[in-house]
Structure 1
Amino acid sequence: MVIGIVIAVIVVGVAVWAVTAYNGLVALRNRVDNGWAQIDVQLKQRADLIPNIVETVKGYASHESRTLQAVTDARARAAAASTTAERAAAETQVGQALMNLLATAEAYPQLQANQNFLDLQSQLKALEDKIAYARQFYNDVVLKYNTKIQTVPSNIIAGMFHFTERGFFKVEEPDRAVPQVRF
């Protein structure tokens, strides 16, 4: 009789642990998905802002077509990306192209005095700050999620229910370089 109670308590304990571990993994996976969705919202706003910036700069710096084309091409690659990793890499290129565009724009005093350009630049800065925060949040949640599915004993449940690791939103080494502007 006592052995039966002990076995029942152990079985119930294991079942409670398994349900708790599974629910914890699901909650973290959903937070990762939510984190990416928040980044996606900010990236969409930036993508919507880019044509306005490009058109404004075009009016003042029409001979900077290579820089303007790089921004447009990077935006198109980001829109065409199909995986999180591809999208992250493409969005990093968009950020680099925008930095080059803004650095190029500094050579045009009339453009720097244009209120429309200043407003667009301010909106872009605010969006970049939001994107940076959203990336940090996403990477923090990915770290927690990946740690949970890799550590014992929750890795048992993760393996049984096919929870897979998620990638971080990284900045690639070449993209850390300061943009070079030559006239």
Structure 2
Amino acid sequence: MSNGIKTALIIFGVLAVFSAGAVLWGIGQYNKAVAMDEEVRGQWAQVENQLKRRFDLIPNLVETVKGYAKHEKEIFENLAKARTSYFQAGSMQEKAAAAGGLETALSRLLMLQETYPDLKANESYLKLMDSLEGTENRIAVERKRYNDAVQAVNTYRRTVVGRFAAALAGVEAAQYFNLPEGEQQTPKVKFD
């Protein structure tokens, strides 16, 4: 075998190894983009699980409070509307907005306990409040995990390699779960 053929084979071998490595690296980046997208979806499902739990607790809490606060009809109507909006929402953003609306109405409902001291002593109410408090904590944890997954996928999509891998895998930018505008302030409740 001549030196020219040996050199050509060595160059061909190096190029083949380099090409194979580049292809494997590219597949790894593609798979990373897909995995990150699935992580966002999975975390959103966990947020929805906890929001559903909250929405399931609300009717029981409302019924308990209704006996004490019959004239607080607006609060109960707002809770019912927020609950309906959540279950009719089609997208993650619509569900997040509905959940934010519920948080406002729910905080007004919880403020009623200051007006009705007997309500605070009611055993059913206390149990529901404990369940709701636990659910709110779970929602906060799952919302943070979801937003962390969103941050990871969005950061990856902004890198040079990630931009191409995400485009190839069809991974879109994810939306953070933020409170809607106007719902970031503490609601004010007035009793006349």
- What's the TM-score bracket when you normalise by the shorter of the two chains? over 0.9
Q: In structure 2, what is the equivalent of residue 155 of structure 1?
A: 163
Is 1:51 the counterpart of 2:59? The answer is yes
| Separation in 2, partners of 1:95, 1:18 | 44
- 1:90-109 to structure 2, matched below 5 A, reads 90-109=98-117
Matching of residue 177 in structure 1 with residue 185 in structure 2 = yes
The SS at the match of 1:166 is coil
Instruction: Tell me by how many angstroms 1:105 deviates.
Output: 3.0
Match of 2:19 among 11, 15, 22: 11
Aligned residue pair count: 183
Q: Does 1:128 align with 2:136?
A: yes
Of 102, 120, 123, the match for 1:112:
120
1:60 is matched with: 68
Deviation sequence 1:5-49 (CA, Å, 0-9, x none): 121022111111111101111211111111011111101110100
Query: Does residue 143 of the first structure (1) align with residue 151 of the second (2)?
Result: yes
- Does residue 1:31 correspond to 2:21, yes or no? no
C-alpha displacement at 1:57, in angstroms?
0.7
Asked if 2 retains the 8 angstrom alpha-carbon contact of 1:103 and 1:179, the reply is no
Q: Which runs of 5+ in 1 are unaligned?
A: none
Greater Cα offset, 41-50 or 152-161: 152-161
Moved over 2 A (4+): none
Q: TM-score, normalised by structure 2?
A: 0.92
Whole-Å separation in 2 of the counterparts to 1:106 and 1:71 = 19
1:161 deviation in Å? 2.5
What corresponds to 1:84 in structure 2? 92
Which one-letter code corresponds to 2:68 in the other structure?
Y
User: Which has the higher Rg, Structure 1 or Structure 2?
Assistant: 2
Identity %: 39
- Unaligned 5+ segments in structure 2 are 1-8
Q: Secondary structure at the match of 1:60?
A: coil
Please give the secondary structure, in 2, of the residue aligned with 1:176: coil
- Aligned-pair RMSD on alpha carbons? 1.0
Deviation at 1:138, TM superposition (A): 0.3
1: CA distance, partners of 2:132 / 2:11: 67
Contact 1:49 1:120 (C-alpha < 8 Å) held by counterparts: yes
Deviates more, 1:149-158 or 1:129-138: 149-158
Counterpart-to-counterpart distance in 1, 2:175 and 2:90:
14
Q: Secondary structure at the match of 2:115?
A: coil
